[in-house]
Structure 1
Amino acid sequence: MHELSFNKATILVVGGAGFVGSNLVLKLLQKDSARVIIVDNLLSSDIANVPDDPRVDFRYGPITDDRILGALPENLDFVFHLSCYHGNQSSIADPLADHENNTLTSLKLFERLKEIKGLKKVVYAAAGCAVAEKTYDTARATNEDAPVSLYHDSPYSISKLIGELYGNFYWKHCGLPLVKARFQNVYGPREVLGAGRWRGTPHTVWRNVTPTFIWRALRQEALPLDNGGNASRDFIFVEDMARGLMCAAARGEPGGVYNLASGVETTIRELAEIINAETGNTTPVDLRPARDWDRSGRRFGSTEKSRDKIGFTAEVPIREGIARTVAWTRENRDMIERCIHQHDRFMAAL
């Protein structure tokens, strides 16, 4: 397995001010990349996440902007396409905004990148949830060749699959060296509750389950468990995810798809118990009925192909990852609070 080689590379990270993107940028800078171009419209991210480094070239705006696309350099070595319209609930509330920021972003970016002939690899952030079996029975690890349903719970899931389909087209017909990296449930430092602009629902603030639970647990609040917390997910620490993306870029086969997963199934109730223990939260959990839109049930990702083909294995166990994320949240409490409170007037109007 050859070594990761990003030394002196010119790299584009679309969505590089976001949670995963900013962690990836930090890893790339450690690899002595010559230049990292970040394109981000800060729709669901905060400028504080952009590393202060002379090698970082931050370009504010959507990747669908023709001026931004036209100004991309012709000497790009690697591209990581991580931008999205964050969250299932936001996409349900506004499918057109999801199309603008999830589907059109992929199409316009791939159309531009097909003209750049020296590209070594383009990595697309795909969604493991879009192909996972919908079950509350015993979960089986989702393989990369799992069948894809035509019935989905959210526009977000649909648009992430469309991105894969467009990626397949541009690889097959234009030779774009595109690799699909299917995310599981990423968590960790730099995921900022409330970052970015109001997107129509409280999920603008209360995003993924892990940062929401940590924030509430630090405030000694009850953690809400939909359907008793019996759903399960594959939680992967963000630094592992950043390494996995780099493995996909360095070793992934163009046209290929790879799970970036821990391979460990954790119920939401178990997650709540770990977070409450780490934060010292003694408030009993809040048991609630199932969400009416969500039929995703239990799931986790298979890790065999990624281990064997691109040399990626997640290293950070969930208890260690949660401890590190709690520590980061404590250290950045003021910044997170600022981002949450910028939406107070919208929340009050609901």
Structure 2
Amino acid sequence: MAETFEGRNVLVVGGAGFVGSNLVRFILKQQPRKLTIIDNFLSADPINVPDHPAVRLVSSSIANDRVLREIDDDLDYAYHLACYHGNQSSIHDPLADHENNNITSLKLFERLKDIKSLKKVVYAAAGCAVAAKTFDGAQATKEDAPVSLFHDSPYSISKLVGEMYGNYYFMRHGMPFVKARFQNVYGPGEILGAGRWRGTPATVWRNVTPTFIWKALHGEALPVENGGIASRDFIFVEDMARGLMACALRGEPGEIYNLGSGVETTILELAERVNELSANDTAIAMTPARDWDRSGQRFGDPSKAREKLGFEAQVPHLEGLRRTVEWAREFRPCILRCMMQHVHFLPELRRYESTAR
């Protein structure tokens, strides 16, 4: 019989976040004995935490020594999904990125190495950190792609450092470490402005899909940079949750797996689809390229995850976008509440004050 999470003790660090909360809901369907969420709500909102008898929430950074000591010694599975979210926030404050990405990973792995019951430790790695830097046509990035020593952001660097620390603890201490390399996740639960101010407008306007959907629902022009030629591999968050579960249940310690759709979609195509689904007639606004971003075109090769884990993304991009637009309409008051807590820093957000009434 295939392994499941039934009766298991699971830890999800970053479990209140966008991806983490979707993963938690999927794991809960398999009736774990206990599921502990540790999250400092730096970029998450409490509304994403399920009310379930198996769930224990710890509101803290995983770098807190007391919290680390109190982690159960009989864990079966652990997920490390917490991070200092986003390239632009890390560029603005590299020290905060280091504190929330590098220190957290090192301290967590140092604690987990002594838990002998662990079957798997799954780490959220970043596909952007290994993709070729190109605007001249992308090729699917494989897991063994060469890693450059020159990066566009501290975020990209720290996500790779997390992989390296995990590899060290796997080799030195036998920690059953599996790397799940994320492509561009989107879907319900990604709340613009969730958490605390992190120094730049990217605190609110974080990823491209929720930003486009919010603006389209308000009849605004979607800002498309550099002619929209940049491309990404968009994977629906429920597919990502299934992929993360497959990494824990069937992944091989020491290995890395791309979790993505394997489909390249341009940002212009994304904008056009969002406008269509949102009935937004306002013309797309073409804007200059971002001066820091050299990884313009990229998508992942998911063949290893398909062959070794039996995992394949199931939700087509247009269908995933449709479901995300519907969710954003329904949860508009919650999204607005999170956005408006940053109005002191972004006064232009006041134009949305009446939209959810």
Q: TM-score range by the shorter chain?
A: over 0.9
Residue in structure 1 matched with residue 189 of structure 2 by the alignment: 190
Residue 53 of structure 1 aligns with which residue? 52
Q: Is the 8 A contact 1:74 1:116 kept in 2?
A: yes
- CA distance in 1 between counterparts of 2:37 and 2:228 reads 37
Residue 130 of structure 2: aligned partner: 131
Alignment TM-score, normalising by the size of structure 1? 0.99
Q: Which residue of 1 aligns with 2:254?
A: 255
Which structure 2 residues correspond to residues 57-96 of structure 1 after superposition, within 5 A? Answer: 57-96=56-95
> Matched residues in 2 for 1:219 and 1:197: separation?
24
- Please tell me the residue identity of whatever aligns with 1:269: L
Write out per-residue CA displacement over residues 266-305 of structure 1, whole angstroms, 9 at most, x where no aligned residue: 0000000010000000000010111000111110000110
1:135-162 deviation line (CA, Å, top 9, x unaligned)? 1112100000000000000000000000
In structure 2, do the counterparts of structure 1 residues 49 and 92 end up closer, same or farther at CA, with 3 Å as the change threshold? same
Q: Residue 242 of structure 2 aligns with which residue?
A: 243
The 5 A counterparts of 1:1-350 are: 3-348=2-347
State the Cα distance separating 1:4 from its structure 2 match: 4.2
Taking only the aligned residue pairs, the percentage that are identical comes to: 66
Give distance in 2, aligned partners of 1:62 and 1:322.
32
Q: How many corresponding residue pairs?
A: 349
Following superposition, the deviation at residue 256 of structure 1 comes to 0.3
Q: Distance in 1 between matches of 2:347 and 2:24?
A: 36
**CA–CA distance in structure 1, aligned partners of residues 103 and 65 of structure 2:** 12
Letter of the aligned partner of 1:215 in structure 2?
W
Flag structure 1 segments of 5+ consecutive residues without an equivalent.
none
Measure, in 2, the Cα distance between the counterparts of 1:91 and 1:150: 17
| Backbone CA RMSD of aligned residues | 1.1
Shift of 1:181: 0.3
Q: Determine the structure 1 residue equivalent to 2:354.
A: none
Alignment-mate amino acid for residue 195 of structure 2? G
> 1:3, CA displacement in angstroms?
2.7
1:195-217 alpha-carbon deviations (Å, 9 max, x no partner): 00000001000000000000000
For each residue in 1:302-330, what CA deviation from the matched residue of structure 2 results, as whole angstroms up to 9, or x when unmatched?
Answer: 01100000111000000000000000001
String of CA shifts for 1:50-105, please: whole Å, max 9, x gaps.
Answer: 00111100000000000000000101000010000000000000000000111111
Compute the displacement of 1:5 (Å): 1.2
CA drift of 1:348 comes to 3.5
Hey, what's the Cα distance between the residues in 2 that align with 1:112 and 1:260? 27
Partner Cα distance (2:30, 2:317) in 1 = 26
Q: Does the 8 Å CA contact 1:258/1:306 hold for their aligned counterparts?
A: yes
Unmatched 5+ stretches in structure 2: 349-357
Counterpart residue type for residue 167 of structure 1: G
Q: Distance in 2 between matches of 1:173 and 1:348?
A: 51
**Over 6 Å off, 4+ runs:** none
Q: Distance in 2 between matches of 1:339 and 1:26?
A: 22
Distance (whole Å) between structure 2 residues aligned to residue 30 and residue 5 of structure 1? 10
The residue type equivalent to 2:194 in the other structure is: A
What is the rounded CA distance, in whole Å, between the counterparts of 1:311 and 1:104 in structure 2? 33
Partner of 2:245, secondary structure, is: helix
Distance 1:89 1:229 in 2: 19
| Equivalent position amino acid for 1:276 in 2 | N
Residue identity opposite 1:274 in structure 2 = R
SS in 2 for 1:320: helix
Q: Is the 8 A contact 1:136 1:297 kept in 2?
A: yes
Show CA shifts across 1:10-47 (max 9, x none). 00000000000000000000011111100000000000
Asked if the contact 1:4/1:246 (under 8 Å) is kept, the reply is: no
